[in-house]
Amino acid sequence: MDRLDNTVRPYAWGSPTAIPHLLGVEPTGEPQAEMWMGAHPGAPSRTARGTLVDVIDADPERELGAGAVAKFGPRLPFLLKILAAGAPLSLQVHPDLAQAAEGYADEERRGIPVDAPHRNYKDANHKPELICALTEFDGLCGFRDPVRAADLIDGLGVASLKPYVDLLHAQPEEAALREVLTAILTADPQEMAHTVAEAAAACARLGGDYAPYADLAQHYPGDPGVIAAMLLNHVRLQPGEALFLGAGIPHAYISGLGVEIMANSDNVLRCGLTPKHVDVPELLRVVRFEASDPGVLRPEASPAGEEVYDTPIDEFRLSRYVLPEGGTARDLTLGTPQILLCTAGSVRAGEHELNPGQSVFVPAGEKAEIAGTGTIFRATVIV
């Protein structure tokens, strides 16, 4: 197996301290948002044999296994991250596989450069993702019931929001959510900025259930995404709990440290809480306008001690092992590629001693035994 040397991405929303604290190093003072583990071309992990991209390209079947190559092609189909949100991320959705392929082909046909700020589809893949909390973790996930959203917005007492309240009460669920989100994102920017300022003041005054939206407005003053966020479920994960974000589900991470895994894609359609491009027509094509429970996931334990986060896709499978002091070694050998990430304690993986934040890549079929006291997350695929 290969010890991984991973890149930390310094996005502005990142916490300056959470990842350094996990790694046991001094903060630099700069935001440290995500540490990437995998073979994404934007920041592939490095090994003693070269980057993980180079290692896999040299012999895909040996590294990934014949089953994974047959199903997903000669590439690692997932990206594993440690994510540290010190400020809210943009409100966003991801396309399904057919939408991504269609959108990518259309933008290629129209000759939009892949790095253009108004480009929506960087690739032809979907981007389902799972976030598992390492600390208390706040986020937004999926639409509230329209009546509950109407009651929350009405409670602000902001006159300019009354039409949205009336729409949410009057229309069938899908039409109500679609019409209100469309109205929010297409409103006159100056009028909306004034509405957001009034709403933010009310949220700060009321506190309680309104406190998260006051925080959003503080980071993104005047942004229509503050009002759009009130259409969504607010969820607070405890350590070990997780959220699965499927295609078309609007979501945003607000604060906290977690392990995130996703299909290897960069396709994001933004709804707000961002200075970046918001393509409203394309967004409305992708969003699933249906109320849903956030669906907090708790791991399902097996007799072998593996705790699995069950999701409906095959590009990734995330699980964890919590190794008690004095416990026996566990054999994690699989016929599929794995990344093993330590998040607590000290765990030996093969010949590598792993401390929090350290990880290894295990080629398909290679012996993988872990021992020690701590927590290991295991990322692999389903074939």
Q: Which amino acid is at 233?
A: N
**Max CA distance (Å), the chain:** 65
Region of residue 196 (phi > 0: left; psi between -120 and 50: alpha; otherwise: beta): alpha
Tokens 């392990």 belong to which residue? 259
Q: What is the DSSP letter of 115?
A: T
Question: Which backbone phi and psi does 185 adopt, to 5 degrees?
Answer: -80, -15
Of 64, 46, 50, 65, which Cα lies nearest the Cα of 5?
A: 46
378 CB-side CA count, 13 A: 28
Q: Which of 3, 75, 270, 320 does the annotation list as catalytic?
A: 270
Q: Which amino acid is at 164?
A: Y
Contact call for residues 310 and 324 (beta carbons, < 8 A):
no
In this structure, the strands spanning 338-349 and 359-362 are antiparallel
In order of 152, 170, 208, 230, 274, the CA distances from 211 in angstroms are 12, 27, 5, 11, 19
Contact call for residues 329 and 369 (beta carbons, < 8 A):
yes
Separation CA 39–CA 7 (nearest Å): 11
> Is residue 270 flagged as an active site residue?
yes
Q: What is the DSSP letter of 159?
A: G
Which residues lie across from 371 on neighbouring strands? 348
Q: Which helix (H) or strand (E) holds 348?
A: strand 338-349
Question: Which backbone phi and psi does 20 adopt, to 5 degrees?
Answer: -55, -40
Three-state DSSP state, 44: coil
Q: Which amino acids are annotated catalytic?
A: 270
